Amino acid sequence: MLAQEIIRAKRDGQALNEAQINHFVRGLVDNSWSEGQVAALGMAVFLRGMGRDEAVLLTRAMMNSGRVMRWPDMPGPILDKHSSGGVGDKVSLMLAPMVAACGGYVPMIAGRGLGHTGGTVDKLEAIPGYSTTPDPAKFDQLVRSLGCAIIGQTADLAPADKRFYATRDVTATVESVPLITASILSKKLAAGLEGLAMDIKCGNGAFAATPEFARELAESIVAVAGGAGLRTRALITDMNQILGTDVGNALEIWETVRYLKGDGPREARLHEVTLALCAEMLVLGNLASDTAAARVKLQAALDSGAAAEKFAQMVSALGGPADLLDKPAQYLAAAPVVKPVPAPRAGVLQAMATRDLGVLIVELGGGRRKAGDAIDMRVGFSSVQPVGTRFAAGEPLALVHAADEAAADRAVVSYLAACTLGDADLAAAPMVMAEVG
């Protein structure tokens, strides 16, 4: 079988069969397909599309291109969640211990920041000593004993996807729904899951900018996951503003600690999306009869301190401080300069250019301009006020945390430029925009 004949078939709009797809995936791993051939097939799929059966075959082949985790003799269901990425999205940090406290087992393999979106692994590395790269035996043991562990992506899980994505990234073929679907699900299936909750972010701070694209992606993921044997539900959730009150690596760990401990009120939108995704996971794992019952269990896990205790145990077991939840100020680095973003006039916050605010975090040093860049864990925004808030002139929209005065001053100007003030009151937008599956 020749690579160029497989490329030709897809170029001409034909559906690829299992043998052709397996040949391509083997070629990704053993380098028998050249970079040009990989790029050509990626572009052919981008332009011609893929049927659901093809996408299932590609997903399974990429899943089987490396190690596939097995979880024999587990006393509860193996569950996970995946987000398409947003600004201030620290849901995974709360979700894994909450589901574990309710009887689920969550082997979460998370990613680093990509573009304007923050990464769960980067946030965890703001905790001194926390190892995101334990060996497989330790990861297995932690999931079994604690119910959850959050680590970074490993090279031996779906290695075909890693090479294919790197090529797509530099050939303008990332935005292909079947290829996004296969990329996400191949890694999740390789983790040995029994249920998956998908969080498809939608809005001006998300990869899926429109509800139409978000729904297309959600329906593709649910259908292909089902075809590959993984029960999946997808929620389309609002990303037209920052999620939660804090953005930036150490600051988001601070917010996670406050959330799990119940120190002060939980930000309404963050609490809603966290509960909604956790509830879907409990229902998928037959740990609750419906989402209403699941929410009762989850709230009890928060109120009793059981979820906070799971998070503390996970942090300690992976090398972080055992008393992080009691003494976060002792361990989480703080920026030397903190400045308010004053409202230029009285009014109501009408909108945020959320992506611009994510890019601003990168400019402050809290994200990467290129792979391998060091991250300043201290920088970001706190006390972020949501859309719909009414301000007096001079009242802070947020606080900027920066490495020096000049960076803080620039960030204040940029933050204001990303916000629109007006006079009309706004009704709150629903956090969960749609459900699929």
pLDDT digits (tens, 9 = 90+) for 128-184: 999 999 999 999 999 999 999 999 988 899 999 999 988 998 898 988 999 999 999
What are the catalytic residues?
80-83, 120, 168, 183, 187-188
Averaged pLDDT, 347-368: 94
Is the pLDDT at 116 greater than 80? The verdict is no
User: Which segments within 142-203 are labelled E, that is strand?
Assistant: 148-152, 195-202
Q: What is the DSSP string of 308-341?
A: HHHHHHHHHHTTS-TTTTT-HHHHS---SEEEEE
Q: Can you give the pLDDT at residue 167?
A: 92
pLDDT digits (tens, 9 = 90+) for 410-425: 999 999 999 999 999 9
Is the pLDDT at 11 greater than 70? The verdict is yes
First-residue to last-residue Cα distance in the chain? 37
Q: How far apart are CA 373 and CA 122, in angstroms?
A: 12
Look at residue 381 and give its three-state secondary structure.
Answer: strand
> What are phi and psi for residue 35, nearest 5 degrees?
-60, -40
Q: How far apart are CA 51 and CA 58, in angstroms?
A: 11
Averaged pLDDT, 274-284: 98
pLDDT digits (tens, 9 = 90+) for 83-112: 998 999 999 999 999 999 999 999 999 887
Domains of the chain: 3-49 (1.20.970.10), 79-317 (3.40.1030.10), 333-422 (3.90.1170.30)
Task: Please classify residue 422 by burial: count the beta carbons closer than 10 Å to its beta carbon, then call 0-12 exposed, 13-18 middle and 19+ buried.
Answer: exposed
* Mean predicted lDDT score pLDDT of the chain: 95
